[in-house]
Structure 1
Amino acid sequence: MVSLSSESDSITVVKQAVGRAAACRVKSGMIIGLGTGSTTAFAIQYLGGFLRSGALSNIRGIPTSYQAAALARRYGIPLTTLDDIDHIDIAIDGADAVDPQKNLIKGGGAAHTQEKVVDSLAEMFIVVVDRSKVVDHLGVVPVPVEVLPFAVTPAMRAIQKLGGKPEIRMATSNKDGLVITDQGNIVLDVKFDRIDDPGELNRTLNTIPGVVDSGLLVYSCPMRSISPLEPRLF
């Protein structure tokens, strides 16, 4: 029998390995999209270490959240903004679910709107996930949907008509109240029994008045695998 602590330690070790593998794809002079999440946090940590050691130089990061920005500053990664650059070389980010077509559900960290913007601009998008995030079809985990506070109730009604079961995301641990995004909006976690056409659902959700963006990330071109490790990097 494997203890819970042993399982947790094993997951952490694997996330560290994948974070390092992703960071190793970065070359000096690159502009990097810095995602949000536990595995991406390791990649940011390794990038900072490569800078300090001299293995990397002259890189700049585009953070997708306050959390990513704070981590980058902690590890000495210079930051820039979308206003000041004309391209992104690599974006490194995680996902909550990945189907066989490499469609993603993002938003566990309530940063999917910024993540989708940054990831879509990158010449190479590296997705770091552990094996538990790889699913036969989307719908296993809820789809986060960012909504303007003013429009939460009508948006929930519209989503219900699509067959979704929306719930307002509440803060956990020692913090009470709603989860608020960096843009000051509300997150709905929407359960669908099965998502057979993620692209169409994404388009439909995003046409609901008051919806900022869904956590569905759909790609028409394949992402490449860069690691034979148990967690996959696409």
Structure 2
Amino acid sequence: MLTQDELKRNVAMAAAEYALTCLQPESVLGVGTGSTVDFFIDAIAEHRHRFRAAVSSSERSTRRMRDLGIEVLDLNEVEEMPIYVDGADEIDHQLNMIKGGGGALTREKIVASVARRYICIVDESKVVERLGAFPLPVEVIPMARNVVSRRLRALGGQPVLREGFITDNGGEILDVAGLDIPAPAVLESHINDIPGVVGCGLFAISGADLALVSSQSGVRRMQRPGAGGADTIQS
């Protein structure tokens, strides 16, 4: 039986191989954050001469890439990227996601918006039939913490402040349990419209384009419905 770290390493290696098919010497690579992405950074660093630079969604990933010799640009210097590679805390079969367990959800969403394709890398434990078992992270401006919490409770959620945590943007995180999410894009839009919300961890208005899922039997691809048919095994 493969350990979770071995599953993460396998999908990270598959993602690096896929990324290299999309990158040119002048390309800028979008990179997310998290433990699975750490393995991806390690894998892609061996091929840093194959692309120009990267843009990162977190200070953590920026430090790791620079330590491995990858140039990291500010997003303001970049007009587009061929792909953005990141993990997820949950992903459904329509490639809607919950993200933000590491607290970088807002920057992840911003960087992903510049990429032509979003590649999600996960182990099989993150694939769900319906989002919501993982508490939904919501980044808020600190002065709005209580008013946003009241609005989230009105939606049926149970928000809890992530104690002692401040995002790279200076915001706070409310982790919201108990939400029923039959229509992820609708709920994402609703939460985004609450005054004081910087961003929420639902990635459904713009979900992933492709998911690479690591399992005991290998790494498989999940395509958005209508964008390629059944899952295939990644060699």
Which bin holds the TM-score, normalised by the shorter protein? 0.7 to 0.9
Amino acid at match of 1:183: N
Question: Paired residue for 1:157, among 150, 156, 172?
Answer: 150
Q: Is the 8 A contact 2:188 2:205 kept in 1?
A: no
Question: Paired residue for 1:133, among 126, 133, 136?
Answer: 126
Aligned to 2:201: 215
CA deviation string 1:5-54 (max 9, x = no partner): xx7x6211121111111112223422111110011111111111223xxx
User: Cα 1:168–1:101, aligned 2, differ >3 Å: closer, same or farther?
Assistant: same
Write the distance in 1 (CA, Å) between the matches of 2:206 and 2:30: 20
The gaps in structure 2 that reach 5 residues or longer are 223-235
Aligned to 1:95: 88
More strand by share: 2
Q: Which runs of 4+ in 1 moved over 4 A?
A: 219-222, 225-234
Write the distance in 1 (CA, Å) between the matches of 2:206 and 2:32: 21
Give the TM-score taking structure 2 as reference length: 0.85
Write the distance in 2 (CA, Å) between the matches of 1:159 and 1:190: 8
Displacement, 1:224? 2.9
Q: Is the 8 A contact 1:126 1:233 kept in 2?
A: no
1:42 aligns with 2:28: no
The gaps in structure 1 that reach 5 residues or longer are 1-6, 171-177
User: Cα 1:198–1:226, aligned 2, differ >3 Å: closer, same or farther?
Assistant: closer
User: Cα 1:227–1:135, aligned 2, differ >3 Å: closer, same or farther?
Assistant: closer
Question: Paired residue for 2:184, among 168, 187, 198?
Answer: 198
Q: Is the 8 A contact 2:118 2:208 kept in 1?
A: no
Aligned to 1:124: 117
Question: Paired residue for 2:140, among 139, 144, 147?
Answer: 147
Give the TM-score taking structure 1 as reference length: 0.86
Q: How many residues align?
A: 216
Find the residue that maps to 1:180 and give its secondary structure.
coil
Q: Is the 8 A contact 1:128 1:231 kept in 2?
A: no
Write the distance in 1 (CA, Å) between the matches of 2:57 and 2:210: 22
CA deviation string 1:107-159 (max 9, x = no partner): 01100000011112211211001110001101111110000001101110111
User: Cα 1:62–1:88, aligned 2, differ >3 Å: closer, same or farther?
Assistant: same
Aligned to 2:210: 224
Q: Sequence identity of aligned pairs in percent?
A: 37
Amino acid at match of 1:111: A
Write the distance in 2 (CA, Å) between the matches of 1:76 and 1:62: 14
* CA RMSD after TM alignment: 1.9
Write the distance in 1 (CA, Å) between the matches of 2:42 and 2:214: 21
CA deviation string 1:49-99 (max 9, x = no partner): 223xxxx43421101000010011111111112211110111110000011
Aligned to 1:182: 168
Find the residue that maps to 2:176 and give its secondary structure.
strand
Amino acid at match of 2:155: L
Write the distance in 1 (CA, Å) between the matches of 2:221 and 2:63: 24
Write the distance in 1 (CA, Å) between the matches of 2:149 and 2:76: 34
User: Cα 1:189–1:231, aligned 2, differ >3 Å: closer, same or farther?
Assistant: farther
Amino acid at match of 2:204: V
User: Cα 1:167–1:221, aligned 2, differ >3 Å: closer, same or farther?
Assistant: closer
Write the distance in 2 (CA, Å) between the matches of 1:186 and 1:222: 25
